[in-house]
Amino acid sequence: MDLITRITHQFDESIKAKQAATEEMAGGIATAVEAMVATLTNGGKILACGNGGSAGDCQHFAAELVGRFERERPGLAAIALTTDSSALTAIGNDYSFNEVFSKQVQAIGQPGDILLAISTSGNSKNVLLAIEAAHQREMTVIALTGKGGGLMTQALQGDDIHLCVPHQRTARIQEVHLLTIHCLCDGIDVCLLGEEDHA
């Protein structure tokens, strides 16, 4: 297979993954938007955690809320738990890497806040412990996963929302996660600011 053919295949597979995800995830994403808007308008905040590419997604999401997505508006309260190198290394060294997110959730999470927990496999131990800590703090969890959801499927409860990409390949899951994050940001803006007038 030459490179052009291989690249074309990657694009085609990504398109198909997004189309399949639309059918399974659109309703859940809308519910997640509504939950996030309720939290933000009630003075709460959204904490986000994940590893590797998912850590990058957390930071992307928080930046879009604190700064802006596509329209001017006041900043919204969102924190990526992946960015404080002193906290991450101290917790990792003094306790374990499994607790780098849960310790932060215990410290700054409040009842009514949301934890955006991102894991392509659904099996990341430190994300699972963060979910447990969020429940202890009476927070709602919005889980963004793939590959069937893994152990996170059993960790969720009550009003938690599970957005699971119906795919097995990590790259495709991450691509849908990014689109989902943009849908969340767009939905929050529409709920807060109304539809844009393109006239």
Above 90 in pLDDT, residue 124? Answer: yes
Average pLDDT, the chain: 96
Give residue 197's pLDDT.
Answer: 64
Give residue 199's pLDDT.
Answer: 45
How many H-runs (helices) and E-runs (strands) does the chain carry? 7, 5
What percent of the chain is modeled with pLDDT above 90?
Answer: 97
Structural contact between residues 113 and 141, judged by C-beta atoms closer than 8 angstroms: no
Segment 87-102, tens digit of pLDDT? 999 999 999 999 999 9
CA dihedral 190, 191, 194, 198 (to 10 degrees): 10
- This prediction has a pTM of 0.96
Above 70 in pLDDT, residue 179? Answer: yes
Structural contact between residues 112 and 85, judged by C-beta atoms closer than 8 angstroms: no
Residue 148 has a CB neighbour count (10 Å cut-off) of: 14
